[in-house]
Structure 1
Amino acid sequence: MAEKSGEEAPQLSSGETLSTTGRFSLTARILLVNMLPLVFLGGGLFYLDSYRTQLINERFKLARIEAQITAEALAGATRERQEALLVQIGKEQGMRLRMFDAEGRLWADSFALDEPAFTFDDITDDTWDQQFARWLDRTVDTIVAAETVTDYVEPESDTAEAWPELVRAREERVSQVNLYDWRDGTPVITAAAPVGLNGATLLTVRNAVDITATVRAARTTLVTAVLLVLFASAMLSLYLARTIVTPLRQLANAAVKVRQGREREVEVPRLPDRSDEIGLLARAVSDMTGALRQRIDAVDSFAADVAHEIKNPLASLRSAIESLPRVEDPKLRRELEQIATHDVRRIDRLVTEISDASRIDAEMSRATLERIDMADLIRSIIGSREYRAENQNHRIELTTRGFAANVLGVGARLERVIENLLDNAVSFSPPEAAIEVTVDNDGTCVSVTVCDSGPGIPEDSREKVFKRFHSVRPEQEDFGNHSGLGLAIARAIAEAHDGSLLAESRSDGAPGACLHLRLPAA
């Protein structure tokens, strides 16, 4: 993976290019999603304004009917009877009733004849909740653009001309209704109706406090419920956000430290107590970080080993080349030239093996797997080696067992594994000794075992032979003919195929070692 130099990588902002929701934190989005429905529920406050209008309309109809019935009851009655009816109806209905004569002069008032049936609220001594209720009424009216209602003010004149509804009733000879607003926000409903045929008129005034009380009680209940649910929802949302955001921030901070590489050992929280997706993510990130750290350590170690292994033949080559101009003896010069040639070949072999080892992971990640019969592949390799005389007079015996030994893999890489195993067996086997190759398939796993007749591998060294540049060669073999990467490359290829490669002793008790390759069966 290539890294950009001189450019700071963006931190925790990749989601911002995917959606506009990336502009807001996860906590804010959780709060918004959980509280938005409650905000819509709070919109019921505005619905109550239409409910209030319906109540007033119904009260309009009632006020018109009451005025008409009262006017009919007053028509034809004596003055004493009319005054008694005004007082009685006013007390029973909680209204103020006024009678005007044909010239529009006030001649009877239920409040003047007896105790007032109601009194208007004096807002100067209202409590804070009443003040808040009036403020809420005004706020809702402003938001819903409610029609402005004329404030109710008692006229200074006692004539009918002071009341618009009375003027219309006298002119049109039909009942009229009007709406006013008292200072405390309660509606005042007036109704005017003609009384008899002599031109007299009746005016009723009602302060419909019950309408405002009903609407305000409903609003108070709704607001209280919405606020309580909003608070509970906010607390639950914050708790939910904390359980999600806090571990994500911990993982993000650990990932940033890993990327910056400022700390050698970064502890990525694994959250073992969480079995949900956050816990799975934490453990996956922790495992990924561990694998990345191992890969970095392996690369560092590999680079140091490469420098060390190349330095030795380079030093030998430099010494031989520097000595050549000072040597006059032809025989010694030929020996120095042979040493230089050997070192050059050794360096070339090392570079080739190192390049091959470093490309395994990258090539395997891009390779297309194909179905391969391991038995056929090994037969082909054995025939090619015999044709090239690479077996050094050793007899290679192939035995197949079980099902067809089919695996999914990269043919060239698996061929490299078998070649390395056979090279190792040929190197350690005595002259003309047989090399046994067994291929077995138990239905789930294909096993390839290569056994030689050499000195074997001590149990405490069976893992060391797979380390890079670890090379313990037979005494008869020329120095530098092997890089020490053969078995390390073979194991890397096996693991890239989800398999394994192990060193074992021979199962028959005879001297020698067995290299055991296991691959998943196709």
Structure 2
Amino acid sequence: MTATSPPSRRWRISPLLRRILLVNALPLALIVAALLYLDQYQHGLLTAEVTALREQARIYAGALAESAVQNNAANQPVINPDLARPLLYRLIEPTPNAQAIIYGSDGQVIANSRIRQGPGGAIITEKLPPVHPRGNFARAVSLLYDQFLAFLPNPDLTPTGTEGEAAGLGWQPSVREALRLTSAPANHQAAPFIRRAPDGRLLITVAEPIIRSKHSVGVVLLTREATEVDRAVFAIRVSILALFALALALTVLLSAYLARTIATPLLRLADSASRLREGRAAMSEPVPPAIAARQDEIGQLARALEDSAHALWTRMDAIERFAADVAHEIKNPLSSIRSAIETIRRMDDKARAARLFDIIAQDVQRLDRLISDISDSSRLDSEMSRTALEPVDLAPILAALAEIHDATRKETDPVIVLDAPKSGLTVRGAEGRLVQVMRNLIGNAASFSPPAGKIWLRGRETGSTIEIAVEDEGPGIPDAKLNHVFDRFYSERPQSESFGSHSGLGLSISRQIVEAHLGRIMAENRRNTSGTITGARFVIRIPKA
């Protein structure tokens, strides 16, 4: 046998552990992805922000329409920039994190809340104050989240990207869009513009027409940072990620535990099986005792492997003993034949040569019977493992064997006394092999019975088993030999029996057949009231069908 190196003991991720991690983590990842989507929640927050901002823009538009619109020379209402700018500054003052721009009907910018005229006529552009500073972690989460949303169906209020220049508070919808709004019907409501600035802030822009006397004289664009939306969504994202991290850690630990309790014992069992195959495992401990003691499926597997190993070693020992016994039994007649042949070559006495030829013939007959019984015994186990067991009623078989014996018996042969019911002794088995057992026991009893003696053939049901007993009136069995009569090549035969007529395998084969039927066969002596042996008794017990 070629020795193989034992598996490495260093820790590594086994295929089973990878599968357990995948199976446990995949549903968790899908749930977290679905929760991180937060589409409905964010949609509701953005809707509320847009609604509030739109109401604010309508207030601005209404105030501008009432206070900053005058008729021109053609008696058409137009926005007066000198009135619109200070009014816009006063309107936007309570909202420092917002920006408002007024477009005229011709698309020109009339007023911008972040551009003022300073002392001496200088133009001052005010920057948006940092209302909600964002750290690197918040930016990373928002960036990943927006990338994730890019692969999903977006609702109406999902953030949109920039157009042309970088998105920021100074970026607004194009003048073309503003002009389109100025010519829209009065009941038209433009969609909001939602995007992120380079620093990660979420910005919302709404457009509302300035209407005076049912004429659109301009449009006001109001932009505000959606600080509360970002904060609320970010808080939930962080909570979900924290729970995900905790659940993932528990998943990894549980997966490692499952792998340790499943994969590691299986690897140890595989190692034990490899050592058994190579013949390096001790018969007394073929698998680790700690695994065999487990009260789960792996423990059952370990115990089954242990039982298989014991059965295998027992079978190997039996084969070795059987081979040694066969070699010994075959060697005896071969030695006798060789001695007879060598003697015949050196002698001229025809009478003595004839007697030696008779010895050779008896030895050949003994070898023939021995080889036949050895062949039958060696293939019995494999044959029984392939034979389908069927219900067999032993009562008619006992009656038929008794009838055949009585029909063929000679005057000095023993008589069979049948003591069994006509039916009801049903077992599951192979009928031919069960008949072989009965014939072996009857033949054995007949060979030890006195002339015209009796053989009792009994059958009965005892609880969950069927009991068959064969009794004779012979000399019985020495008490020390009761367990050895079933050994192979047991050769204690009556002196009146011709040499070589039995191989010593009959009772051994009978025990093999009975044990293959999950039964037992025992030998005992019959005794009278004074304790004297009056014969032998062989008892078979097989589970009833």
Per the TM superposition, whether the score is higher than 0.5 is yes
| Structure 1 residues 68 and 338: CA distance shift in structure 2, 3 A | same
CA apart distance, 1:183: 1.6
> Quick one: which of 68, 77, 87 aligns to 2:67?
77
1:182-233 CA distances to partner (integer Å, 9 max, x unpaired)? 2222233344543758957644332222222222222222222222212212
Name the residue aligned to 1:423: 443
Aligned AA (1:517) = I
- Per mean C-alpha deviation after superposition, the further-off stretch among 479-488 and 95-104 is 95-104
Name the residue aligned to 2:10: none
- Per mean C-alpha deviation after superposition, the further-off stretch among 310-319 and 420-429 is 420-429
Q: Is the 8 A contact 1:453 1:513 kept in 2?
A: yes
CA apart distance, 1:463: 1.0
Aligned AA (1:41) = I
Partner Cα separation in structure 2 for residue 144 and residue 368 of structure 1: 62
1:469-516 CA distances to partner (integer Å, 9 max, x unpaired)? 122123343433321111111111111222211011214334232111
Name the residue aligned to 2:8: none
Q: Is the 8 A contact 2:455 2:472 kept in 1?
A: yes
Q: Do structure 1's residue 394 and structure 2's residue 414 form an aligned pair?
A: yes
The unaligned stretches of length 5 or more in structure 1 are 9-23
Partner Cα separation in structure 2 for residue 130 and residue 321 of structure 1: 106
> Quick one: which of 365, 384, 399 aligns to 1:345?
365
Partner Cα separation in structure 2 for residue 162 and residue 436 of structure 1: 117
Partner Cα separation in structure 2 for residue 435 and residue 162 of structure 1: 119
Aligned AA (1:245) = A
CA apart distance, 1:258: 2.7
Matches within 5 A, 1:415-494: 415-442=435-462, 444-494=464-514
Aligned AA (2:230) = T
> Quick one: which of 242, 245, 249 aligns to 1:227?
245
Name the residue aligned to 1:519: 542
CA apart distance, 1:299: 1.6
Q: Is the 8 A contact 2:369 2:503 kept in 1?
A: yes
Name the residue aligned to 2:161: 148
Partner Cα separation in structure 2 for residue 46 and residue 208 of structure 1: 19
Partner Cα separation in structure 1 for residue 361 and residue 387 of structure 2: 37
CA apart distance, 1:168: 4.8
Q: Is the 8 A contact 1:353 1:485 kept in 2?
A: yes
Partner Cα separation in structure 2 for residue 474 and residue 337 of structure 1: 24
CA apart distance, 1:330: 0.8
- Percent identity reads 35
- Per mean C-alpha deviation after superposition, the further-off stretch among 173-182 and 200-209 is 173-182
Name the residue aligned to 1:243: 261
Partner Cα separation in structure 2 for residue 133 and residue 368 of structure 1: 69
CA RMSD of aligned residues (A): 3.9
| Structure 1 residues 173 and 498: CA distance shift in structure 2, 3 A | closer
Name the residue aligned to 1:119: 129
SS at match of 1:28: helix
Name the residue aligned to 2:137: 129
Q: Is the 8 A contact 1:90 1:96 kept in 2?
A: no
Aligned AA (1:374) = L
- Per mean C-alpha deviation after superposition, the further-off stretch among 224-233 and 63-72 is 63-72
Partner Cα separation in structure 1 for residue 417 and residue 326 of structure 2: 36
Q: Do structure 1's residue 188 and structure 2's residue 203 form an aligned pair?
A: yes
Matches within 5 A, 1:7-86: 25-44=15-34, 47-48=37-38, 52=42, 55-56=45-46, 59-77=49-67, 83=86, 86=89
CA apart distance, 1:337: 0.5
Aligned AA (1:492) = Q
| Structure 1 residues 63 and 117: CA distance shift in structure 2, 3 A | farther
Partner Cα separation in structure 1 for residue 264 and residue 173 of structure 2: 74
Q: Do structure 1's residue 91 and structure 2's residue 80 form an aligned pair?
A: no
- Per mean C-alpha deviation after superposition, the further-off stretch among 243-252 and 267-276 is 267-276
Aligned AA (1:183) = P
| Structure 1 residues 331 and 444: CA distance shift in structure 2, 3 A | same
Partner Cα separation in structure 2 for residue 467 and residue 198 of structure 1: 117
SS at match of 1:480: coil
| Structure 1 residues 390 and 481: CA distance shift in structure 2, 3 A | farther
The unaligned stretches of length 5 or more in structure 2 are 4-13, 69-81, 119-124, 155-159
- Per mean C-alpha deviation after superposition, the further-off stretch among 162-171 and 313-322 is 162-171
Partner Cα separation in structure 2 for residue 514 and residue 457 of structure 1: 9
CA apart distance, 1:135: 3.2
| Structure 1 residues 214 and 384: CA distance shift in structure 2, 3 A | same
TM-score by length of 2: 0.78
Partner Cα separation in structure 1 for residue 22 and residue 414 of structure 2: 78
Partner Cα separation in structure 2 for residue 353 and residue 513 of structure 1: 24
Aligned AA (1:140) = F
CA apart distance, 1:310: 0.5
SS at match of 1:275: coil
| Structure 1 residues 97 and 373: CA distance shift in structure 2, 3 A | closer
Partner Cα separation in structure 2 for residue 502 and residue 153 of structure 1: 100
Q: How many residues align?
A: 497
| Structure 1 residues 238 and 180: CA distance shift in structure 2, 3 A | closer
TM-score by length of 1: 0.81
1:318-360 CA distances to partner (integer Å, 9 max, x unpaired)? 2212332322101111011011101100000101111111222
SS at match of 1:38: helix
- Per mean C-alpha deviation after superposition, the further-off stretch among 258-267 and 412-421 is 258-267
SS at match of 1:506: strand
Aligned AA (2:271) = N
Aligned AA (2:234) = R
Name the residue aligned to 1:216: 234
CA apart distance, 1:417: 1.4
Aligned AA (1:239) = Y
> Quick one: which of 105, 110, 113 aligns to 1:109?
113
1:426-459 CA distances to partner (integer Å, 9 max, x unpaired)? 3333344333333333353332222233332233
Q: Is the 8 A contact 1:428 1:454 kept in 2?
A: yes
Partner Cα separation in structure 2 for residue 428 and residue 107 of structure 1: 132
| Structure 1 residues 163 and 56: CA distance shift in structure 2, 3 A | farther
CA apart distance, 1:390: 6.9
Partner Cα separation in structure 1 for residue 280 and residue 496 of structure 2: 50
Structure showing the higher helix proportion among its residues: 1
- Per mean C-alpha deviation after superposition, the further-off stretch among 240-249 and 376-385 is 376-385
Matches within 5 A, 1:258-269: 258-263=276-281, 265=283, 267-269=286-288
Partner Cα separation in structure 1 for residue 44 and residue 406 of structure 2: 105
Aligned AA (2:86) = E
